[in-house]
């Protein structure tokens, strides 16, 4: 829960939301010290039982995104419930007057209706599509282009990424937008009406990274490269005992070490001459990635994962062995990382939970567990 030494201590935020982007924004603000109250309809919003769940049906997903928040439940369809939300948002006092929501189109909690009660109110409304129509991460991503270049190069269909990247980016943008609006309000006394479509988040990032600029400038879009890293040399290889490693050689030194490690320096030099290439160049390493991969793969196929790990550790090559989520937990990395601390979550149990990934003066900020639905109705 909030403490006075955290960066956003003193802020009071009312969150009317569900699923990923909006709850993640509220969680991020809570980790940084804001007092966040999530308001749900009686019985919970559509995400209250979302998978993964425990054997007893408690949502691991819901509690994970709502750690450190107070929980209010009201009848959002009734005038009394709507008035409760308006009163929570517009209550007088410094640091309050902030609404975070992805429940678009509700006139009773629109910026205009809340500003009539508190002129300096800050509202952040997360939308699906730019035109205000509904959209979620998977539908936004489908219309953007990434599934067309994800997956094996010989796969004729589309492949969805399992990480809700646009939800995550949108949630973090929303937290940044609130922090920025508060800073402006402190200087000017003026509130803010902030609209943040999930689709615009995706379009903005795709534009910034060149995916949307490339077809405008060159006349062609990005092609899929499978597990190869676009524009440089990076590939995955298999070891003799079935392990799999991701290798990335961003710099000439990385590539030189990889060539020496695998004992193919003479072969690589011969290929370089035959192709009139310069493998000090990222572009040439990428262009001829297939033949370079074929040269290094046999070394890994002859060695175990332990032998590959030892050799790669002593080199400058960027690498990691592929692991499952269970492998990560079993490795002990959570207990050795100061970003994790034990959390006792009612309904779920005790487990190591992450705090805010940024450390402030060496300290990671944590929240308490998620409140049970409606636990703070009387507060």
User: Do the beta carbons of residue 89 and residue 99 sit within 8 Å?
Assistant: yes
* H helix and E strand count, the chain: 16, 13
Longest CA–CA span in the chain (Å) reads: 79
Rounded (10°) CA dihedral 152, 287, 312, 280: -170
How much of the chain exceeds pLDDT 90, in percent? 97
Instruction: Identify which of 357, 373, 334 has the alpha carbon closest to the alpha carbon of residue 342.
Output: 334
Mean pLDDT in residue range 322-345: 98
Predicted confidence (pLDDT) per residue in 95-144, tens digit: 999 999 999 889 999 999 999 999 999 999 999 999 999 999 999 999 99
Q: Say yes or no to pLDDT of 366 above 80.
A: yes
CATH of domain 12-207+336-364: 3.40.50.10540
Name the burial class of residue 68, with classes exposed (0-12), middle (13-18) and buried (19+) by CB atoms within 10 angstroms of its CB.
buried
Band (378; pLDDT cuts 50, 70, 90): confident
Rounded (10°) CA dihedral 123, 126, 132, 134: -140
Domain positions in the chain are 12-207+336-364, 244-321
Predicted confidence (pLDDT) per residue in 7-61, tens digit: 999 999 999 999 999 999 999 999 999 999 999 999 999 999 999 999 999 999 9
Rounded (10°) CA dihedral 177, 38, 164, 363: 70
124 forms beta bridges with 100, 194
Predicted confidence (pLDDT) per residue in 207-261, tens digit: 999 999 999 999 999 999 999 999 999 999 999 999 999 999 999 999 999 999 9
Q: Say yes or no to pLDDT of 1 above 50.
A: no
pLDDT of residue 3: 60
Q: Say yes or no to pLDDT of 2 above 70.
A: no
- Residues with a catalytic annotation lie at 167
The mean pLDDT of the chain is 97
């Amino acid at each position: 829960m909030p403490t006075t030494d955290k960066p956003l201590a003193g802020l009071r935020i009312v969150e009317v939301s569900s699923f990923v982007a909006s709850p993640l924004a509220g969680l991020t603000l809570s980790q940084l010290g804001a007092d966040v109250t999530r308001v749900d309809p009686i019985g919970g919003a559509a995400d209250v039982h979302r998978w993964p769940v425990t054997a007893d049906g408690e949502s691991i997903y819901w509690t994970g995104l709502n750690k450190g928040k107070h929980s209010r439940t009201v009848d959002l369809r009734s005038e009394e419930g709507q008035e409760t939300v308006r009163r929570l948002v517009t209550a007088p006092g410094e640091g309050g007057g902030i609404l975070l929501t992805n429940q678009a189109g509700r006139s009773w909690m629109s910026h205009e209706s809340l500003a009539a009660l508190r002129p300096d109110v800050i509202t952040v409304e997360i939308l699906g599509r730019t035109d205000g129509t509904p959209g979620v991460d998977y539908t936004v991503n489908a219309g953007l282009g990434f599934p067309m270049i994800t997956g094996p190069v010989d796969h004729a269909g589309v492949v969805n990424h399992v990480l809700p990247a646009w939800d995550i980016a949108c949630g973090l943008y929303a937290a940044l937008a609130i922090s920025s609006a508060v800073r402006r309000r402190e200087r000017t006394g003026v509130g803010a009406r902030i609209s943040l479509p999930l689709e615009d988040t995706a379009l903005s990032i795709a534009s910034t990274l060149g995916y949307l600029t490339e077809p405008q400038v060159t006349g062609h879009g990005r092609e899929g490269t499978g597990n190869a890293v676009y524009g440089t040399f990076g590939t995955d290889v298999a070891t003799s005992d079935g392990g799999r490693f991701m290798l990335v050689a961003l710099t000439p030194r990385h590539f030189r070490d990889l060539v020496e490690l695998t004992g193919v320096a003479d072969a690589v030099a011969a290929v370089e001459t035959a192709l009139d290439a310069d493998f000090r160049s990222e572009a040439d390493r990428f262009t001829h990635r297939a033949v370079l991969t074929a040269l290094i793969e046999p070394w890994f196929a002859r060695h175990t994962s332990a032998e590959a790990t030892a050799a790669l550790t002593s080199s400058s090559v960027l690498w990691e062995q592929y692991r499952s989520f269970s492998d990560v937990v079993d490795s002990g990395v959570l207990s050795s990382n100061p970003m994790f601390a034990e959390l006792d979550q009612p309904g779920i149990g005790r487990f190591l939970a992450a705090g805010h990934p940024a450390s402030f003066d060496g300290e990671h900020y944590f929240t308490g567990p998620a409140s049970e639905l409606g636990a703070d109705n009387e507060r």
